Amino acid sequence: MLILLPPSETKRAGGSRHPFDPQRLSFPALTPQRTQVIDALVALSADEERAARVLKLGGTQLHEVAVNAALLTGPTLPAVDRYTGVLFDALDAASLSTPARRWLGSHVAIHSAPFGPIGALDPIPAYRLGASTSLPELPALRRIWAATVTEQLAAAAPRFILDLRSEAYVALGPVPDSIRSAYVRVVTEGEDGAVRALNHFNKHAKGAFVRALAESRPRIGSLAALQRWADAAGVRLRDGASGELELVV
């Protein structure tokens, strides 16, 4: 099973001084697209005013321009430790055991805007770039990433993909039709039986869900196997719309 996670706008600073090497990331066939986006982002950062306008940064966020300027030389952290925010705080990968972290490294990819999908333990620098941003001199990120990411997911040939990304990142690399998959929506059920989608708790529930998987390290190759694990773990998963699962919290 391969789990696809969205990134977070917020990042943890610092890390190891080992240099960042885009060619050592998971899905190495994406290196040309990574180089294209990284080079454009670094070049944009030479002009703070323009970069702030393109990236929609406020006055207190201007330091993010310098972070992007140092993208190729800055310190690195494993991706799952670099991202912060509700989902990654709930996942709390730093507190997991070594076997659980290895499971994340083998089964989780985080879909970023500058790097495409990367392994959970791939070392990356801090950066600022969202899925909807259009960089000067480049096509829309969807045009750069979507077809190639879909091809590389197909080439990786996982038996099953569990897609926990936001829809903005799904657009940067739809799951190929050739791979069995399910898209996860987080919902809550009222006393009257009515179901509604969640926003803030959507991210928390996804992080806690992936943490539970990492702690138990199941071998899952199908939707049926995932459902068996969920039933045993006390996680409420049920069929939703076509191609979707509802995570009930």
DSSP for 196-220, please give it: EE-SHHHHHHHHHHHHHHHHH----
Give per-residue pLDDT as tens, 40-52.
Answer: 999 999 999 999 9
The pTM of the whole model exceeds 0.75? yes
Match 């006055």 to its residue by tokens: 59
242 DSSP assignment: T
- Of 211, 178, 197, 205, the C-alpha closest to 104 is 211
- Is the pLDDT score of 68 beyond 70? yes
Q: Which range of residues forms the domain containing residue 173?
A: 2-248
Average pLDDT value over all residues in the chain? 95
The pLDDT of residue 231 is 97
Number of domains comprising the chain: 1
Q: What is the pLDDT of residues 118-159, one digit of tens each?
A: 999 999 999 999 999 999 989 999 999 999 999 999 999 999
- Of the candidates 1, 209, 27, 208, which has an alpha carbon nearest to the alpha carbon of residue 111? 27
| CB 195 within 8 Å of CB 237 | no
Pick the closest to residue 4 from 86, 90, 104 (CA basis).
104
Given a cut of 70, whether residue 247 has pLDDT beyond it is yes
Across the chain, where does the E strand assignment appear? Answer: 2-5, 77-78, 108-112, 116-119, 123-124, 161-163, 181-189, 195-197, 236-239, 244-248
